Amino acid sequence: MKLKRLALITAMISSNVNAFQVCNIGDEYNVLDSESFHQIRQKNYDAFGEGITPENLFPSAPEHIVDLKPSLSEASDVFPETATLLETGPASAVTLAPEEAARLMDTLGRSTTGLAQGALEALGPIGDAVAVGLWANEVATSFQDESRTSYDRFATVMGLVDWFGVLKLPAREIDRQILSSRWDRIAAGNHYSYHVHEDLVTQQDLRDKIYWAELASDQQAMLNAVARGFATDLALKYQQHYQEVVKAQTIMAEELITAVDHELRKAVFSQLVLDHKDSRLFASDIAASCNEETRVLADLYPDHDIEESNSLPPALPSKRQANRALAKLQHCQQNLLDQAIAKLNELRTGQIEGLDQAAVQQLYARTLAAKTQIIETADNHTNLLMSKLQRDMFTQGDIAIERLFRSGSVDTMHNFFKGQAERSAIDEMTRSILGRPATTQEIRNKEIVLQSGYEKCVRIGILGGDPNFRGCVEYAWVPAETRPFIPSEDTVIAQISVPSKEAVKRVLFDSLSNLIDHGWNAEAEERWLEQQLLDFSTQQRLKQQAEFDKQQVYHWLLDSSAMLEGECGGGSACAGWSLSYLQRENLSRQASLHYINNWHANYSGKGAYVHSKRYQKLGGLITAALESEWQAKRAVEFYSFTYPGSIDLQKNAPLIYSALKSSSLDLAHLEGNTLQLAKGIVKTRLAEAISVSDSNGVEWLHSQVGQFQRYTSIIHSQHISTGHYASGEGEVTALFSEMLPAHLMRYLISDIIPDSYDARIERSIDAIFNPTSELNQKLDKLSNTNENFTDKPGRSCMIYYPYLKSALLDVAADDDLYWISPISEWYDAVTRQQLNMFGALKYAVINQNTFGIPCDLSPNSYQYQ
């Protein structure tokens, strides 16, 4: 596992990461195309990894500094030993006073504001190099062991993912609401595909069997579309949970690495204290070490511009005051530098107890090994949990399809379609053989009656005891001659088969695999959105046409001759039926087209001239109206089958439906610009719905936008991915490929990359302790140069510091010193303080000269010391 992972990470060295600026999700609702998706993932990973790039994994010395003491207290029930180790720290080897503990916390970058406990307790024990190294190894090993065993306590991987919530993952709730709750509802059986059979038409039309066969075949297509939708919902949910895994492992790893660095910094900083003015200075104290002397000197010279005022300030210090203040600042500056250089000399010659070369090497080697082990553990468990999540995702998909087929929805719809087709087929067979329509009983029994049953006399005898009267004395029933309807013998019916559960599962599994590998296709998702609108538009158009055709039938059947004169002409052939006749025949605008059709077929005045034009016109109109009514009925009551993959907006996305209906668009003819306008309306409404989903609740969101939530969820998921440095390249999948951030992952290869970080640390430690190293030569130069300045304070007003400044900066710029943090931090604090002192001393001398105050310091006089 490690070698495979290292091979992948090593590839980072040669890969490229390009930044890409994308619009905010609220600016435009569009699924990202492949190129944009991979670019934003690379950009997101760059941000997630704190700007660490594959080309330069260690551009600077790593820093893991936090305001608060690192802790895993929230995870103590799963990582009890690791949490305890962080709480107790290493074995104590250094004793500090409470006031010193507070100042060391400042040096470590930790806040002392509002501490509920004393500084000593908050700081924790301070270990020496050996204790910190051993403790770091314990932390890493404990984290590895507890990750391996404690996770087994969770019955399911989802139980573990839910537990990660204790780590306060950012944006957890809203992301879950948007991305995972849809599948939770589907898994509970709350999806239109489970209930579509409840919308069956109540009037069973004797349509041609081919109509029903087409709907039956559409059922498989509809279920396949459902499976593809399930795949998206599953992928969104489990991708979100995988992101939670990555973030959780990142939080824990960062906390542990920071804890290791924290203890290392405590151990080193506590040894690099300076004795100054009867006090021990830590790195953060150095900057203010001569503040009092600097303030006194600055107070002597108020802001005053001689050239502008053409006069001296009203009050000037005396010669004694000016020279005494200058001398004190010179002594303070030099004393601190002497102390710092002495401490450096003790360090590089191995005279600081617990910080000799062997101890320092062991300290950095053990802490670096601990960091590597921590990241390796987090990375391994990220991959392990990723595999478990994927397996669970496929399992949940399989369960959902099983539940769908067990729900009765599939069988009910199949039996309905097949039953309707058989009714049509039985009627067709009856008409072809007997020239009449099938009766209700024939359709119900699935057999036609060729000859009705009858009684037949089987014995002739005497009637009433009178031999003169003979007749039938015994009858027998001759059963009806029937012909059963055998579905398999009808070529159309025989082709109607139950949808294949295994085929639906294959669609689901193939869709999941494709999503993992390639993610969502922007063009396909945009087509899906457009198809929703196009199918909705077709439905509206069919409903309009059906209503128009029906009104035409009513117009020619019920309206007066005067109202038809322009279309029919005059005369009795265009005359309308009397109101009494229409009422007697129950013909009105409330009569169904089927009723009117039956009336038309059985009309007794077919051969009469009167009403003849109306009658003939009605024949064509009724046929057209019945057809358009059927098409509209299919579009309304069998929407999911007529338009596989589309949802009925009125039933399943009422918020979208109402937005479209309230627009001024011609919804029956959405195309071209109007289609784009409709898409804009939908996307705007979706954005508004998402924006208020947190307050309105997830159930409201589901009930109002239905499957349109998938579209927005895809966009959201694409944008919040923490990404991958090589997204879109090689074997990097679109989903489930997010990895720990680069600023952590780099530790896994810190020993094998060119000019490795491990090698730099070793080289830096050697440079500090090796007398012949370039760094030691610079330190020798600094020490020797400083000896020339040690006796100068108080003996001259103007001390020329360029040589000393140059020697200080030469050491500060040394690359070997830089990499051995926190020693370099401590030295930087010294250098900054000295540069500030040089500036303050120069300012004081300039003021003395400007205001004509003579220098009273002399190499032979000690009066101002």
Q: Once rounded to an integer, what is the mean pLDDT over residues 398-402?
A: 91
* Mean pLDDT, rounded, for 448-462: 87
Confidence class for position 640, pLDDT limits 50, 70, 90: confident
Chain centre to alpha carbon of residue 250: 16
pLDDT at site 207: 59
Inter-residue contact 266 to 284 (CB < 8 Å) = no
Pairing of strands 454-463, 447-451: unpaired
pLDDT per residue as tens digits for the range 73-119:
888 888 999 999 999 989 877 777 677 767 776 777 766 655 545 66
- Residue 436 identity (one-letter amino acid): R
Please name which of 130, 113, 93, 99 lies closest in space to residue 270, comparing C-alpha atoms: 93
* Contacting residues for 753 by C-beta, under 8 A, at least 6 apart: 10, 13, 57
The whole-angstrom separation of Cα 749 and Cα 48 is 18
pLDDT at residue 515 is higher than 80: yes
Specify if 654 maps to a domain: yes
- Residue 422 pLDDT: 86
**Does residue 443 sit in the same domain as residue 490?**
yes
Round the average pLDDT of the chain to a whole number and report it: 85
pLDDT band at 61 (very low <50, low <70, confident <90, very high): confident
Among 469, 499, 529, the domain-final residue is 499
806 and 769 fall within a common domain: yes
Q: Tens digit of pLDDT for each residue in 658-681?
A: 999 999 999 999 999 999 999 999
Residue whose C-alpha is closest to residue 339's, from 839, 830, 837: 830
Question: How confident is residue 7, by pLDDT bands cut at 50, 70 and 90?
Answer: very low
* Nearest of 418, 411, 415, 430 to residue 485 by alpha carbon: 430
19 inside domain: no
Q: Report how many domains make up the chain.
A: 3
Last residue within a domain, chosen from 467, 499, 531:
499
3-state secondary structure of 732: coil
> Does residue 657 form part of some domain?
yes
Same-domain check for residues 421 and 353: no
Q: Which of the 8 DSSP states describes residue 29?
A: -
The answer to whether 622 touches 553, Cβ cutoff 8 Å, is yes
Q: Note whether 281 and 361 are same-domain residues.
A: yes
Residue 35, in any domain of the structure: no
For residue 499, whether the previous peptide bond is cis, meaning omega lies within 30 degrees of 0, is no
User: pLDDT digit string (tens) for 160-193?
Assistant: 777 766 665 555 555 555 555 555 665 555 555 4
Residue 647 forms part of a structural domain: yes
- Characterize the bridge pairing of strands 481-484 and 466-478: unpaired
Q: What is the mean pLDDT of residues 310-334?
A: 84
Separation of CA 10 from chain center: 27
> Collapsing DSSP states into helix, strand and coil, what is residue 474?
strand
Distance CA 152, CA 156 (A): 9
Assess whether 485 and 525 both reside in one domain.
Answer: no
For 816-829, what is the mean pLDDT? 93
Same domain, 444 and 538: no
Name the 3-class secondary structure at 35: helix
Q: Where does a domain end: 673, 696, 719?
A: 696
Instruction: Please indicate whether residue 324 or residue 206 has the higher confidence score (pLDDT).
Output: 324
DSSP string, 830-855: HHHHHHHHHHHHHHHHHHHHHTTPPP
Residue range 230-272, pLDDT digits in tens = 999 899 999 999 999 999 999 999 999 999 998 999 889 889 9
Residue 5 banded pLDDT, cuts 50, 70, 90: very low
Regarding whether 358 and 311 lie in a shared domain, the answer is yes
Do 684 and 700 contact (CB within 8 A), yes or no?
Answer: no
For residue 27, tell me if it sits in a domain.
Answer: no
Classify strands 279-281 and 274-276 as parallel, antiparallel or unpaired: antiparallel
Which pLDDT score, from 0 to 100, does residue 863 have? Answer: 57
Asked if residue 691 belongs to a domain, the reply is yes
Give the pLDDT of residue 35: 94
- Token code pair at residue 349: 């010659």
Three-state DSSP at 129 gives: helix
Q: Residue 200 pLDDT more than 60?
A: no
pLDDT digits 0-9 by tens, 679-727:
999 999 998 988 888 788 888 888 899 889 889 889 989 999 999 999 9
Q: 277-289 pLDDT, tens per residue?
A: 778 888 888 989 9
User: Coil, strand, or helix at residue 478?
Assistant: strand
So what's the pLDDT on residue 2? 38
838-841: long-range contacts at Cβ-Cβ below 8 A with a sequence spacing of 24 or more? Answer: 838/333, 838/801, 838/805, 840/294, 840/297, 840/298, 840/329, 841/326, 841/329, 841/330, 841/333, 841/799, 841/801
Residue by residue, DSSP assigns 576-638 as PPPHHHHHHTT-STTS-HHHHHHHHHT-TTTT-STTHHHHHHHHHHHHHHHHHHHHHHHHHHT
> DSSP class of residue 609?
S
Residues 769 and 687 in one domain: no
Residue 120 has pLDDT above 70, yes or no: no
Q: From CA 775, how far away is CA 768, in angstroms rounded?
A: 7
> Do 532 and 495 belong to one domain?
no
What is the span of the domain harbouring residue 814?
Answer: 274-366+752-850
In this prediction, residue 482 carries a pLDDT of 87
| DSSP letter, residue 476 | E
Highest-scoring range by mean pLDDT, 404-413, 478-487, 636-645, 779-788 = 779-788
pLDDT in tens, 37-52: 999 999 999 999 998 8
Nearest to 53 by CA among 3, 18, 89, 93: 18
Question: What per-residue confidence (pLDDT) applies to 164?
Answer: 67
Specify whether 689 is located in the same domain as 832: no
Whether 526 and 674 share a structural domain: yes
pLDDT of residue 862 exceeding 60, the answer is: no
Least confident of 300-309, 318-327, 804-813: 300-309
- C-alpha radius of gyration, the chain, whole number: 45
Strand partners of residue 466: 463
The Cα–Cα gap between 543 and 539 comes to 6
Which of 8-17, 424-433, 523-532, 563-572 ranks highest by mean pLDDT?
Answer: 523-532
Judge whether 109 lies within some domain: no
- Assess whether 431 and 360 both reside in one domain: no
In this prediction, residue 24 carries a pLDDT of: 38
